[in-house]
Amino acid sequence: MDGGEMNFGERLALRMDDLGPVAVGIDPHAGLLDSWGLPDTAAGVREFGLRTVDALWERAAAFKPQSAFFERHAAAGVAALEDVMEHCRQSGVPTILDVKRGDIGSTMDGYADAYLSGPLRADAITISPYLGPGSLEATARRAAAGGQGLFVLALTSNPEGAQLQHVGGKGASVAGEVIRSVSAWNQALAPGEVGPFGLVVGATIGGAARELGIDLGGFPGIYLAPGVGAQGASGSDVREVFGNARVLASASRSILGGGPSEEGLRQGLARTLDSVGG
Protein backbone atom coordinates (compact mmCIF):
# COMPACT_ATOMS: atom_id res chain seq x y z
CA MET A 1 0.00 0.00 0.00
CA ASP A 2 1.52 3.41 -0.84
CA GLY A 3 1.10 6.57 1.26
CA GLY A 4 -1.87 7.76 -0.82
CA GLU A 5 -3.95 4.68 0.01
CA MET A 6 -3.23 4.53 3.71
CA ASN A 7 -5.95 5.48 6.13
CA PHE A 8 -5.44 8.16 8.77
CA GLY A 9 -4.58 5.64 11.49
CA GLU A 10 -1.96 3.89 9.37
CA ARG A 11 -0.34 7.19 8.42
CA LEU A 12 -0.29 8.41 12.03
CA ALA A 13 1.10 5.09 13.26
CA LEU A 14 4.01 5.31 10.81
CA ARG A 15 4.77 8.83 11.99
CA MET A 16 4.64 7.72 15.63
CA ASP A 17 7.09 4.89 14.87
CA ASP A 18 9.37 7.36 13.16
CA LEU A 19 9.27 10.37 15.49
CA GLY A 20 7.99 9.03 18.80
CA PRO A 21 4.42 8.97 20.09
CA VAL A 22 3.76 12.54 21.25
CA ALA A 23 1.08 14.97 20.08
CA VAL A 24 1.72 18.60 20.98
CA GLY A 25 -1.39 20.41 22.15
CA ILE A 26 -1.67 24.01 20.95
CA ASP A 27 -3.58 25.50 23.89
CA PRO A 28 -3.01 29.27 24.08
CA HIS A 29 -4.25 29.80 27.65
CA ALA A 30 -4.34 33.43 28.82
CA GLY A 31 -1.56 32.69 31.35
CA LEU A 32 0.69 31.17 28.69
CA LEU A 33 0.13 34.13 26.35
CA ASP A 34 1.22 36.39 29.20
CA SER A 35 4.35 34.38 29.92
CA TRP A 36 5.21 34.41 26.21
CA GLY A 37 4.81 38.23 26.14
CA LEU A 38 1.86 37.98 23.74
CA PRO A 39 -1.45 39.86 24.05
CA ASP A 40 -4.61 37.94 24.99
CA THR A 41 -6.16 38.73 21.58
CA ALA A 42 -6.80 36.94 18.29
CA ALA A 43 -3.42 38.20 17.04
CA GLY A 44 -1.82 36.76 20.19
CA VAL A 45 -3.30 33.26 19.83
CA ARG A 46 -2.38 33.25 16.12
CA GLU A 47 1.23 34.14 16.86
CA PHE A 48 1.35 31.55 19.67
CA GLY A 49 0.13 28.80 17.33
CA LEU A 50 2.45 29.72 14.46
CA ARG A 51 5.49 29.86 16.75
CA THR A 52 4.65 26.49 18.31
CA VAL A 53 4.47 24.89 14.86
CA ASP A 54 7.73 26.53 13.74
CA ALA A 55 9.55 25.27 16.85
CA LEU A 56 8.21 21.71 16.98
CA TRP A 57 7.19 20.47 13.52
CA GLU A 58 10.26 18.28 13.15
CA ARG A 59 9.54 16.13 16.23
CA ALA A 60 5.77 16.27 16.77
CA ALA A 61 3.83 13.20 15.63
CA ALA A 62 0.75 15.46 15.51
CA PHE A 63 -0.44 18.90 16.54
CA LYS A 64 -3.66 19.14 18.53
CA PRO A 65 -4.96 22.73 18.48
CA GLN A 66 -7.55 23.34 21.20
CA SER A 67 -10.38 25.21 19.49
CA ALA A 68 -11.73 26.71 22.74
CA PHE A 69 -8.77 29.03 23.17
CA PHE A 70 -9.25 30.39 19.65
CA GLU A 71 -13.07 30.56 19.82
CA ARG A 72 -12.90 32.75 22.94
CA HIS A 73 -11.70 35.52 20.60
CA ALA A 74 -14.85 35.14 18.45
CA ALA A 75 -14.68 35.56 14.67
CA ALA A 76 -11.13 36.91 14.68
CA GLY A 77 -10.05 33.97 16.87
CA VAL A 78 -11.55 31.47 14.42
CA ALA A 79 -9.72 33.24 11.58
CA ALA A 80 -6.53 32.87 13.66
CA LEU A 81 -7.25 29.14 14.00
CA GLU A 82 -7.65 28.91 10.20
CA ASP A 83 -4.14 30.37 9.83
CA VAL A 84 -2.70 27.99 12.43
CA MET A 85 -4.34 24.99 10.70
CA GLU A 86 -2.91 26.11 7.35
CA HIS A 87 0.54 26.50 8.93
CA CYS A 88 0.29 22.94 10.35
CA ARG A 89 -0.65 21.66 6.87
CA GLN A 90 2.34 23.45 5.32
CA SER A 91 4.59 21.85 7.96
CA GLY A 92 3.35 18.38 6.99
CA VAL A 93 2.39 17.49 10.57
CA PRO A 94 -1.05 15.83 10.95
CA THR A 95 -3.64 17.85 12.86
CA ILE A 96 -6.11 16.65 15.47
CA LEU A 97 -8.47 19.56 15.95
CA ASP A 98 -9.82 19.37 19.49
CA VAL A 99 -13.45 20.48 19.17
CA LYS A 100 -15.19 17.66 21.09
CA ARG A 101 -18.39 17.81 19.03
CA GLY A 102 -21.27 15.36 19.23
CA ASP A 103 -24.90 15.85 18.14
CA ILE A 104 -27.78 14.28 16.21
CA GLY A 105 -26.74 12.93 12.82
CA SER A 106 -28.09 15.78 10.69
CA THR A 107 -26.29 18.37 12.80
CA MET A 108 -23.10 16.29 12.73
CA ASP A 109 -23.13 16.83 8.94
CA GLY A 110 -22.74 20.54 9.67
CA TYR A 111 -19.81 19.90 12.00
CA ALA A 112 -18.23 17.66 9.38
CA ASP A 113 -18.55 20.52 6.86
CA ALA A 114 -16.89 22.82 9.38
CA TYR A 115 -13.99 20.64 10.53
CA LEU A 116 -13.42 17.92 7.91
CA SER A 117 -13.56 20.31 4.95
CA GLY A 118 -13.04 24.04 4.33
CA PRO A 119 -10.39 26.27 5.89
CA LEU A 120 -10.54 24.61 9.32
CA ARG A 121 -10.21 21.08 7.89
CA ALA A 122 -8.20 18.78 10.09
CA ASP A 123 -6.76 15.31 9.64
CA ALA A 124 -8.84 14.23 12.62
CA ILE A 125 -11.18 15.77 15.19
CA THR A 126 -12.19 14.89 18.73
CA ILE A 127 -15.79 13.70 19.11
CA SER A 128 -18.13 13.19 22.06
CA PRO A 129 -20.39 10.10 21.91
CA TYR A 130 -22.93 11.27 24.49
CA LEU A 131 -25.82 11.34 21.96
CA GLY A 132 -25.09 7.70 21.18
CA PRO A 133 -22.21 6.39 19.06
CA GLY A 134 -24.69 5.59 16.26
CA SER A 135 -25.29 9.33 15.74
CA LEU A 136 -21.64 9.64 14.70
CA GLU A 137 -21.53 6.89 12.09
CA ALA A 138 -22.16 9.13 9.07
CA THR A 139 -19.35 11.40 10.25
CA ALA A 140 -17.13 8.34 10.60
CA ARG A 141 -17.93 7.25 7.03
CA ARG A 142 -17.22 10.74 5.76
CA ALA A 143 -13.91 10.95 7.62
CA ALA A 144 -12.80 7.57 6.29
CA ALA A 145 -13.75 8.54 2.72
CA GLY A 146 -11.64 11.70 3.02
CA GLY A 147 -8.62 9.86 4.47
CA GLN A 148 -9.33 11.49 7.83
CA GLY A 149 -9.98 10.19 11.32
CA LEU A 150 -11.88 10.71 14.55
CA PHE A 151 -10.91 10.39 18.21
CA VAL A 152 -13.93 9.47 20.31
CA LEU A 153 -14.01 10.23 24.04
CA ALA A 154 -14.10 6.97 26.04
CA LEU A 155 -12.35 7.26 29.42
CA THR A 156 -11.38 10.91 29.76
CA SER A 157 -8.49 12.24 31.81
CA ASN A 158 -10.56 14.37 34.20
CA PRO A 159 -11.73 12.85 37.49
CA GLU A 160 -15.39 13.81 36.81
CA GLY A 161 -15.51 11.57 33.73
CA ALA A 162 -15.98 8.46 35.85
CA GLN A 163 -19.41 9.63 37.02
CA LEU A 164 -20.88 8.82 33.58
CA GLN A 165 -18.25 6.77 31.79
CA HIS A 166 -18.05 4.04 34.47
CA VAL A 167 -21.83 3.63 34.76
CA GLY A 168 -22.85 0.01 34.23
CA GLY A 169 -19.70 -1.30 35.89
CA LYS A 170 -17.62 -4.31 35.01
CA GLY A 171 -18.40 -5.73 31.57
CA ALA A 172 -21.29 -3.30 30.92
CA SER A 173 -19.89 0.21 31.29
CA VAL A 174 -20.75 3.20 29.12
CA ALA A 175 -17.06 3.53 28.20
CA GLY A 176 -16.94 -0.15 27.22
CA GLU A 177 -19.90 0.37 24.87
CA VAL A 178 -18.16 3.35 23.23
CA ILE A 179 -15.02 1.26 22.76
CA ARG A 180 -17.01 -1.61 21.20
CA SER A 181 -18.72 0.80 18.77
CA VAL A 182 -15.51 2.46 17.63
CA SER A 183 -13.78 -0.93 17.24
CA ALA A 184 -16.67 -2.02 15.01
CA TRP A 185 -16.34 1.10 12.83
CA ASN A 186 -12.67 0.33 12.29
CA GLN A 187 -13.43 -3.28 11.40
CA ALA A 188 -16.29 -2.38 9.04
CA LEU A 189 -14.96 0.76 7.34
CA ALA A 190 -11.22 0.15 7.34
CA PRO A 191 -10.39 -3.47 8.15
CA GLY A 192 -6.74 -3.91 9.01
CA GLU A 193 -4.37 -3.56 11.86
CA VAL A 194 -4.79 0.17 12.54
CA GLY A 195 -8.05 1.89 11.72
CA PRO A 196 -8.76 5.62 11.29
CA PHE A 197 -10.95 5.87 14.38
CA GLY A 198 -9.21 6.33 17.69
CA LEU A 199 -10.27 6.51 21.30
CA VAL A 200 -9.49 9.15 23.89
CA VAL A 201 -8.35 7.43 27.08
CA GLY A 202 -6.58 9.59 29.64
CA ALA A 203 -3.14 8.61 30.89
CA THR A 204 -4.50 9.51 34.35
CA ILE A 205 -7.11 6.72 34.63
CA GLY A 206 -5.00 4.34 36.71
CA GLY A 207 -6.61 0.89 36.97
CA ALA A 208 -10.09 2.00 35.77
CA ALA A 209 -10.07 0.02 32.51
CA ARG A 210 -9.12 -3.18 34.32
CA GLU A 211 -11.78 -2.59 36.98
CA LEU A 212 -14.39 -2.13 34.23
CA GLY A 213 -13.30 -5.35 32.52
CA ILE A 214 -12.04 -3.43 29.47
CA ASP A 215 -9.04 -4.91 27.66
CA LEU A 216 -7.30 -1.89 26.11
CA GLY A 217 -4.93 -4.23 24.23
CA GLY A 218 -7.51 -5.45 21.74
CA PHE A 219 -8.43 -2.15 20.07
CA PRO A 220 -7.74 -1.95 16.30
CA GLY A 221 -6.83 1.75 16.31
CA ILE A 222 -4.82 4.42 18.11
CA TYR A 223 -5.40 5.73 21.62
CA LEU A 224 -5.03 9.45 22.21
CA ALA A 225 -3.84 9.83 25.80
CA PRO A 226 -4.12 13.31 27.27
CA GLY A 227 -3.21 13.95 30.88
CA VAL A 228 0.55 13.64 30.47
CA GLY A 229 2.43 16.49 32.17
CA ALA A 230 0.21 19.22 33.63
CA GLN A 231 -2.52 16.78 34.75
CA GLY A 232 0.02 14.64 36.54
CA ALA A 233 0.50 11.52 34.39
CA SER A 234 4.02 10.38 33.52
CA GLY A 235 5.49 8.04 30.93
CA SER A 236 5.30 5.16 33.39
CA ASP A 237 1.57 5.83 33.86
CA VAL A 238 1.17 5.57 30.07
CA ARG A 239 2.92 2.18 30.08
CA GLU A 240 0.91 1.05 33.12
CA VAL A 241 -2.47 2.00 31.58
CA PHE A 242 -1.87 0.95 27.97
CA GLY A 243 0.74 -1.84 28.08
CA ASN A 244 1.79 -2.53 24.50
CA ALA A 245 -1.21 -0.84 22.84
CA ARG A 246 -0.60 1.87 20.24
CA VAL A 247 -0.86 5.15 22.12
CA LEU A 248 -0.26 8.76 21.18
CA ALA A 249 0.48 10.69 24.37
CA SER A 250 -0.76 14.26 24.30
CA ALA A 251 0.63 17.16 26.31
CA SER A 252 -0.05 20.86 26.09
CA ARG A 253 0.91 23.07 29.05
CA SER A 254 3.94 21.01 30.09
CA ILE A 255 5.49 21.59 26.65
CA LEU A 256 4.14 25.08 25.91
CA GLY A 257 5.37 26.36 29.29
CA GLY A 258 8.92 26.05 27.88
CA GLY A 259 8.18 28.89 25.41
CA PRO A 260 8.46 31.39 23.97
CA SER A 261 12.01 30.33 23.06
CA GLU A 262 12.22 27.62 20.41
CA GLU A 263 14.88 25.90 22.50
CA GLY A 264 12.61 25.85 25.57
CA LEU A 265 9.75 24.38 23.55
CA ARG A 266 12.01 21.74 22.01
CA GLN A 267 13.32 20.77 25.44
CA GLY A 268 9.75 20.40 26.70
CA LEU A 269 8.87 18.09 23.81
CA ALA A 270 12.14 16.14 24.20
CA ARG A 271 11.41 15.59 27.90
CA THR A 272 7.92 14.30 27.08
CA LEU A 273 9.31 12.01 24.38
CA ASP A 274 11.94 10.68 26.78
CA SER A 275 9.36 9.97 29.43
CA VAL A 276 7.02 8.05 27.11
CA GLY A 277 9.90 6.20 25.48
CA GLY A 278 9.83 7.98 22.10
Task: Name the residues that contact ligand OMP, by CB under 6 A.
Answer: 25, 27, 66, 98, 126, 156-158, 200, 202, 226, 229-231, 250-254
Distance CA 1, CA 120 (A): 28
Distance CA 127, CA 125 (A): 6
Distance CA 247, CA 223 (A): 5
Which CB, 47 or 98, lies closer to ligand OMP?
A: 98
What's the start-to-end Cα distance of the chain, in Å?
A: 25
According to DSSP, the β-strands at 247-251 and 223-225 are parallel
Which CB, 190 or 256, lies closer to ligand OMP?
A: 256
122 close to 64: Cβ distance less than 8 angstroms: no
Beta carbon of residue 168, minimum distance to ligand OMP (angstroms, whole number):
19
Tell me if residue 100 is catalytic: yes
Which CB, 15 or 101, lies closer to ligand OMP?
A: 101
Beta carbon of residue 153, minimum distance to ligand OMP (angstroms, whole number):
6
19 close to 61: Cβ distance less than 8 angstroms: yes
Catalytic residue among 59, 100, 141, 271: 100
Which CB, 7 or 165, lies closer to ligand OMP?
A: 165
Beta carbon of residue 2, minimum distance to ligand OMP (angstroms, whole number):
30
- Classify the C-alpha dihedral 112-118-6-255 as positive or negative: negative
Beta carbon of residue 98, minimum distance to ligand OMP (angstroms, whole number):
5
Active site residues: 100
